[in-house]
Amino acid sequence: MIKVSVIIPVYNTAPYLTRCLDSVCDQTLTDIEILCINDGSTDRSLEILRDYEGRDSRVRVISFEQNKGVSVARNTGIDAAQGEYIGFVDSDDYVDLDFYEKLYTEVNGNGVEIVKGLELKIIHPDGSISVDKHNDKIRKNKIHFWTEYTSAIFNRQFIQRNNIYFPEGLLVGEDPCFTLKASILSKSIRVIESAQYYYVRRVNSLNSDIWNKEKIQSYIKYIDYVANFAEKADLSRGDYKILFKWLLEDAQNTCKNKAGSNKNYQNLFEPLFRKLKCMVGIDLLFDATIFHGIESKTDARSGIFFVAYNILKQLSKNSQINITLYLEYFNAVLREACKKDDLLKKFDILCLKYKSSVKNTGYIKNPKFCPDSFDAYINVSCFSLLCGDDMDRIVKFYVLHDTTLLLLDYGDEGWRKNRKAFWNFYDDSLTKNTYGFCVSESARRDFLRFFPVLDPAKMIVTPIATARKFKPNRDIDKLNEIKMKYNMSALDTYIFSFNSYNLRKGLIFTVGCYLKFIERHRINNLCFLSAGGGDVSYYKKKIEQNYGELFHRYKNRIFMIGYIDDEDLEILYSHALFTSYLSEYEGFGMPPLEAMSCGIPVITSNTSSLPEVVGDAAVTIDPYDDEACIKAFEDLYFDNIIRKEYIAKGFVRAKIFTWEKTVNVMADKMMRVLDTV
């Protein structure tokens, strides 16, 4: 029985051929056949081959009259082979005399598909020796076996059954095409620390420093061949990532070293780079802590919640980004809630820390958390951290909203507590290596002011969009249902204010201006409606304290309904006469855009980011100026022409802001940053 078929392609290597053939013919494993494929040699190579064929019955010579290329020669050998295993030796190289015995011994009758020996010893023209080290990587993961195929033997039936051949017509790269296909399709690769192969690097076999166009095109074809095969193969995400990162790195190095300064040659690589970058993609950790309020009917479902949700939704459409949800601490309630949401249930959830089962020992790190599995981390809120020295290699992106807690001070203990938590979080998180997606130029300016460690060049203004898609909805029946739902049967024509019940949102000031406005003009058909998360009773008391008798006179026209269901918001916007959003400070400010999308005029503040958001499509005023606010109310209540002008402008303005635009900027930045890491 033939145990190993040794295939030797030969083309004009007469000075080296005898040493090669002797090292194979004198193998301690005698049950071999030696298939010598003469590829149209014009020197004495064929004569030497015939001599060995005449002296050793195991030597079989197949001769081509014309040169067909090394791939055709090797493939001819594969088809002619009869051995249980196949090995390859280049005709100017040689092997130790026990090379194939050591390799075949590892087969041991268990059907192993590939056995690889020691790393190649490279014999340089000056006689020096170096070692091409790959074995440690191959032991860890067979996907690293893309070179040194001559130092291995391959099960012949495995090779032929899977149609594993050398691509013909390539000037470079035929070896890794064969090797990678074999390694990917194999169940495992056995690596042994013996069985030495010697690769002889000849002066006239060295590649020139600069390749010609034909050779570059052949190289690109080779990378395409491997990429197309690997894309369809059953690879794990980890293996896929390893392979395509290597292909991209190899292509970039080849362009640098072989195209030289020739722009035309460099341009040949560009489509390949784009393709490989797309295939490599990004393994992204998306901080999911903000979703703790997904089932809550409180201010936990605030603007930042919807920002995070929309960013995640849009990122999930990008085939180049592979998302895993991240939690710093295990949260069983959140995990269960995520399983019920159509978007969140698509992703795996990875926790950094778990509560220890040992009493009073706190949290322990999840041993399954491997930072090397991820390229980047994105945090859209300030609830959790990606911390630890082993996390430094992960590129960190933060969506930076506002510094309200640092800019304003309402003097209460809760505000101070939140300010301290905000400062501690960002002081720990933000470094000179942080990349920030700032929701406005105003937000960017403020973060750079309070956190000078940040690199301005890494702070990108990335305007966001509305929480959901809004459009005018004048369904009067639906409005009546909502009135009944929230006990607002007396609600008439109304001003609508949608924001959380928060001191900075200017609600107390706005209600006061409303009261003064209807009192001054003796208006009896205009109500004020506010909705949003937070403590409604606190603000009712504050308004009563501030406006006393005036409040009591008109309190039946003021509706403060607190949290409302998502599906009700569009209706309430669409039926309002106009909306007022007089916040003292905003990093962005979604409600004005939401109202514009629903065809409602907007009054908003002329401070912080709000002028960036609304442009000239809204009435902007000083949020502390009573008379300016009352004047804005007068214009939009009494003047239908002005109201229509702002409605028209609002529709146009709102269309500028889309989540697709926002996340495209983010994804593009992440790709470009990770290209340079």
596-624: per-residue pLDDT in tens?
999 999 999 999 999 999 999 999 999 99
- What's the CA gap between 315 and 334, in Å, rounded? 21
pLDDT above 70: percentage of residues in the chain: 97
Of the listed ranges 16-25, 77-86, 111-120, the least confidently predicted one is 111-120
- Which pLDDT score, from 0 to 100, does residue 298 have? 60
Instruction: Express each pLDDT in 339-365 by its tens digit.
Output: 889 999 999 999 988 877 766 667 888
- What's the CA gap between 215 and 218, in Å, rounded? 5
- Which pLDDT score, from 0 to 100, does residue 299 have? 56
Give 368's pLDDT tier (boundaries 50, 70, 90).
Answer: confident
Q: Domain 476-657 belongs to what architecture? A: 3-Layer(aba) Sandwich (3.40)
- Which pLDDT score, from 0 to 100, does residue 345 have? 92
Confirm if 189 and 116 have CB atoms less than 8 A apart: yes
Domains 4-206 and 476-657 share a fold: no
Instruction: Express each pLDDT in 167-211 by its tens digit.
Output: 999 999 999 999 999 999 999 899 999 899 999 988 665 456 789
pLDDT at 220 over 50: yes
Q: Mean pLDDT, to the nearest integer, of 367-387?
A: 84
Q: Mean pLDDT, to the nearest integer, of 214-239?
A: 91
Instruction: Express each pLDDT in 33-59 by its tens digit.
Output: 999 999 999 999 999 999 999 999 999
Q: How many residues does the chain have?
A: 677
- What's the CA gap between 346 and 316, in Å, rounded? 9
What is the edge-to-edge ordering of all strands in the sheet holding 189-191?
59-64, 32-39, 4-10, 85-88, 152-155, 114-116, 189-191
Average pLDDT of the chain? Answer: 92
Give 3's pLDDT tier (boundaries 50, 70, 90).
Answer: very high
Cα four-point dihedral sign 612, 614, 616, 620? negative
Strand boundaries in 69-221, DSSP class E: 85-88, 94-95, 114-116, 120-123, 129-132, 152-155, 189-191, 197-200
Instruction: Express each pLDDT in 487-496 by its tens digit.
Output: 999 999 999 9
Instruction: Express each pLDDT in 111-137 by its tens digit.
Output: 799 999 999 999 998 889 999 888 999
Cα four-point dihedral sign 142, 144, 148, 149? positive
Q: Which CATH number applies to 282-461?
A: 3.40.50
Task: Output 616-623 pairs: Cβ under 8 A, ≥24 positions apart.
Answer: 616/649, 617/646, 617/649, 617/650, 617/652, 617/653, 617/654, 618/592, 618/646, 618/649, 618/650, 618/653, 619/646, 621/582, 623/506, 623/509, 623/582, 623/583, 623/584
Cα four-point dihedral sign 293, 295, 301, 306? positive
| Every domain of the chain and the residues it spans | 4-206, 207-276, 282-461, 476-657
- Which pLDDT score, from 0 to 100, does residue 360 have? 64
* Superfamily of structural domain 4-206: Spore Coat Polysaccharide Biosynthesis Protein SpsA; Chain A (3.90.550.10)
CA distances to 482, 511, 626 from 490, rounded to whole Å, are: 12, 18, 27
Cβ neighbors of 591 (< 8 A, separation 6 or more) are 498, 499, 579, 581
Confirm if 305 and 538 have CB atoms less than 8 A apart: no
- Which pLDDT score, from 0 to 100, does residue 208 have? 60
- What's the CA gap between 138 and 317, in Å, rounded? 34
Of 430 and 295, the structure prediction assigns the larger pLDDT to 430
For tokens 């908003």, what's the residue? 604
Q: Mean pLDDT, to the nearest integer, of 417-422?
A: 89
- Which pLDDT score, from 0 to 100, does residue 206 have? 45
Instruction: Express each pLDDT in 443-488 by its tens digit.
Output: 999 999 999 999 999 999 999 999 889 999 999 999 999 999 999 9
CA distances to 306, 553, 586 from 470, rounded to whole Å, are: 14, 35, 21
- What's the CA gap between 53 and 449, in Å, rounded? 82
Instruction: Express each pLDDT in 541-595 by its tens digit.
Output: 999 999 999 999 999 999 999 989 889 999 999 999 999 999 999 999 999 999 9
Number of H helices, E strands in the chain: 24, 25
- Which pLDDT score, from 0 to 100, does residue 207 have? 53
